A and B are shown apart, each in its own frame.
Chain A
Amino acid sequence: MNFAVLQFPASNCDQDAVHAVRLLGHSARFVWHKENSLGDTDAVLVPGGFSYGDYLRCGAIARFSPVMQAVKQFADNGGLVLGICNGFQVLCEAGLLPGALIRNRSLQFRCEQVFLKTTTTESPFTNQIPAGKLLRVPIAHGEGCYFADTDTISTLKSNNQILWQYVNAAGELTDIANPNGAVDNIAGICNKTRNVAGLMPHPERACEALLGSTDGRLIFESLFHALKNRPTSKAA
Chain B
Amino acid sequence: MIGANHRPEMKAKIIITPKKAVLDPQGKTVQDALQHMGYQGVGAVHVGKYLEVELTGSDKESARKQIDEACHKFLSNPVIEDYKLEIAD
Contacts and interface: CB of A to CB of B under 8 A. Distances in A.
Interface string A133-157: 0000000000001011100000000
Interface residues of A, number: 19
B56 interface: no
Contact of A100 (B26, B29, B77): B77
B50 interface: no
Contact of B77 (A64, A93, A105, A149): A93
Contacts of B79: 92, 99-100, 147-149
Given A57-B77, A60-B74, A64-B74, A107 B23 contact: no
Interface in A32-69: 56-57, 60, 64
B25 A181 contact: yes
Interface residues of B, number: 12
A102 interface: yes
Nearest to B80: A100
Contacts of A100: 77, 79-80
A212 to B, nearest CB: 29
Contact of A147 (B29, B75, B80): B80
Given A60-B74, A100-B77, A149 B21 contact: yes
18 contacts: A56-B75, A57-B77, A64-B74, A93-B77, A99-B79, A100-B79, A102-B22, A102-B23, A102-B80, A103-B25, A105-B23, A105-B25, A106-B25, A107-B25, A107-B26, A147-B80, A149-B21, A181-B25
Interface of A: 56-57, 60, 64, 92-93, 99-100, 102-107, 145, 147-149, 181
